[in-house]
Amino acid sequence: MMHDGPIAGIAAYGDFIATAGYDNKLILWNQATRKAIARGTHDHLVNSCSFSHDGRWLVSASSDYSARIWSLPDMRLHAVLNDHQDDVDMAVFSPDDQWIATCALDRKVRVFNLQGQCVQIFSGHTGNVLALAWSADNKYIVSTSVDGTIRTWDRGSGLDTQKTDLKVRTDSLEIDSDGVIYAGDDLGRIAIIRGGGHSIHTSSQGRYQKSSFQQ
When pLDDT is averaged across residues 204-210 and rounded to a whole number, the result is 44
Residue 1 pLDDT class (50, 70, 90 cuts): confident
pLDDT at 211 over 90: no
Q: Taking a C-beta distance cutoff of 8 angstroms, is the pair 61, 47 a contact?
A: yes
pTM: 0.88
Domains defined along the chain, listed by start: 7-189 (2.130.10.10)
In this predicted structure, the answer to whether residue 210 has a pLDDT above a threshold of 60 is no
Instruction: For residue 215, count other CB atoms closer than 10 A to its CB.
Output: 6
Structure confidence at residue 187 (pLDDT)? 87
Q: In the chain, count of helices (H) and strands (E)?
A: 0, 21
Residue 103 in this model has a pLDDT that exceeds 70:
yes
Per-residue pLDDT at 159 exceeds 80: yes
Give the angle 195-93-61 at the CA atoms, nearest 5°: 110
Parallel, antiparallel, or unpaired: how do β-strands 181-185 and 88-93 relate? unpaired
Closest C-alpha among 83, 95, 78 to residue 133: 95
Closest to 89 (Cα-Cα) out of 118, 110, 61: 61
